[in-house]
Amino acid sequence: MFKISRVRSHLLALALLCVSAVSARCENAPAVGDWMPGEVILKIRASAFSSPAYQPNLLARGRTGIASVDAQLARLETTSIRNVFNSTTHASRKHDLGMDRILLAHFASAVTPPEASAALGGIGEVEWAEPNGIGHGTFTPNDPTYRLQWAHNNHGQAIDVAGDSVGTPDCDVDTNQAWGIQTGAYNVVIAVIDTGIDRGHPEFANKVLAGWDFVNNDSDPNDDNGHGTSCSGIAAAIGNNGQGVAGVDWGAAILPVKVMNSNGQGSTTDLANGIEYAADFGAQILSMSVEFGDSQTLHDAVTYAWNTYCAMFAAAGNENRNSLGYPAAYPEAFGVGALSPCNERKSPTSCDGETNWGSNYGAGLRAMAPGVRIHTTDIRGSGGYSLGDYTSTFNGTSAATPFVAGVAGLVLSQSYMTPVQLYALLQTTCDNLGPPGWDQETGNGRINAYAALRSVTGAVFVGSNSGVEHGTYDQPYRTVTAGVNAATTGNYLVIKPGNYDEANPLSIGKVIHVDAIDGGVTIH
């Protein structure tokens, strides 16, 4: 068992699987082939259950007392068993239905739950056995324009330049599924380094931090162009608030950093200063929908932010060429390309009908995200791209970049990880679009928010112990003692919520970030 050294105010709350809200809809739709790892449900036959051999006191040790069943449970390295249903209330009614004979077994062997089910189901004393399936929370926000936001859930509703509906179903970021797991946390800060923000927009209520204006050198990063407000809306507009659009990360705080003027132009030094400012502020995520030339000054700022553990997402550029702009081309940055609604790299010939631009590609491109005719926030009134408070045709790798930044925010709301780990997770959970692996047209593929969140590890070790066993979202790291003992001074461990199988059972209700210090643990 671990000891607690001190407590800080840096706890992350785990989002509920489904969030209750007026007009919101929460669906559990189990996917075929999706199940809880290391778990199998079995029902003991009535004759075996009522026999003297059955010993319920052995369940906690992973056995039943029934010889044939226990032999198979031992092969599966079963660690514990519990009753699925509570028989202390309406016991006779549940007994009549056989509910008291349904057990959940946790096993440690490498076999899959379907294989374990087949093995147990073939025993005469077992009535049936099945994997413990996973239901995926699908969150449909009540924002009026959500149904038009093909980037979240594409069913062919995008509108091309001719006014026709286009799109390939499921060419989207799967954010509607991701929101069933996580909608974002305020202590994750996304710095939008751009033209500023319309901080009075209702989609940003109570989530915009002070920020800075490097163009006018003052503390008011007001957006006089519209670009920054639109990018901020994609990354982090409040969802399910009954108005406008839904951003990717509803909970993240936005740090507006103005480095471009009303014409959408800025200097290298202003961008470099903006990156430095965001890093010094403590922003974990930098969203940069900008394209500059190579510069030692700019690269030094990017290197500084990288060494300050900032994850940096940058636009590949819109010239349809086989090279990325900067800072996207720097190795420390996560270069983002733009997809059309038809699951293809945006080009002058893509299905949307916009012939005047294409997404840059080639070396440094890490992933793709929706970037064509995007619904998002605009400067209120007539000061931005449209006459209203929203726009429906925001384009470019500028639009794709905050999509990925928002997904990164959801991931960091779920669990701590370094930029290296975050980049790797986002890349390995992409939906492949070209040949297996990376390709110059689409990088590692289309970013997938749901797959990324489902792959968030329950325990994260940084440093020499990075190979230690990990848990998953579905099965948190199960042995706290093993985790703490494995982590030496200076290594970082994250313990996810769950019930832990210690000698003295421990239940954790929030994500706990801990530093292992001489065998002890410091909770952050």
The alpha carbon of residue 174 and the mean position of all alpha carbons in its chain are separated, in whole angstroms, by 10
pLDDT the model gives residue 417? 85
C-alpha span between 132 and 49 (Å, rounded): 21
pLDDT the model gives residue 435? 84
- The strand pairing partners of 498, in sequence order, are 508
How many residues make up the chain in this entry? 524
The residues annotated as belonging to the active site are 194, 227, 398
Residues of the chain predicted below pLDDT 70: 1-34, 134-139, 457-524
Q: Is 386 exposed, middle or buried (0-12, 13-18, 19+ CB in 10 A)?
A: middle
C-alpha span between 410 and 413 (Å, rounded): 5
pLDDT the model gives residue 416? 79
Does residue 320 contact residue 400 with C-beta atoms inside 8 Å?
A: no
Residue closest to 370 by CA, chosen among 481, 245, 195, 284: 245
- Residue-wise pLDDT tens digits, 271-313: 999 999 999 999 999 999 999 999 999 999 999 999 999 999 9
- Those residues whose C-beta lies under 8 Å from the C-beta of residue 401, and which sit 6 or more positions away, are 231, 287, 288, 289, 313, 314, 315, 336, 369
Supply the DSSP string of 487-501, one letter for each residue.
--TT-EEEE-SEEE-
Residue 440: what residue type?
Q
pLDDT the model gives residue 499? 45
pLDDT the model gives residue 181? 87
Number of Cβ atoms within 10 Å of the Cβ of 100:
20
Does residue 136 contact residue 18 with C-beta atoms inside 8 Å?
A: no
- The strand pairing partners of 431, in sequence order, are 446
- Residue-wise pLDDT tens digits, 26-85: 222 233 346 778 889 999 999 999 999 999 999 999 999 999 999 999 999 999 999 998
Count of helix runs (H) and strand runs (E) in the chain: 12, 22
Domains (range + CATH), the chain: 1-23+457-524 (no CATH), 35-133 (3.30.70), 141-454 (3.40.50.200)
C-alpha span between 55 and 44 (Å, rounded): 12
Does residue 133 contact residue 39 with C-beta atoms inside 8 Å?
A: no
Residue 65: what residue type?
G
